[in-house]
Structure 1
């Protein structure tokens, strides 16, 4: 009986693992969103290093726009 229950549990875990795989299209969406997030982070770092407020504000606005694009890409999944 214990062996049978162990086999059933193992089969259930394998079924759950199989359900978690992403398609290549989903991977591409995730990669695109991650690339946009990295770009936004770079813009935010540049804003932190800006020497005047106008440049800092422009870079922060650009970072926000890129983050919004990343969210839109992620939502398209």
Structure 2
């Protein structure tokens, strides 16, 4: 009888521990995803700015050529 009670207590402790660990893993995954999303947006914004600057530069060169 003692072994059964101790075994059930052990199983209950492991179950709670696994649930806590799963919750922590999920929180970590969400934080990592948010960090990656922010980095991706920043990188995309920088690429768009660079492309826009290149287009503006090309447009300025074309206008200068047309005036000649």
TM-score bucket (shorter structure):
0.3 to 0.5
Larger Rg: 2
Q: TM-score, normalising length from structure 1?
A: 0.37
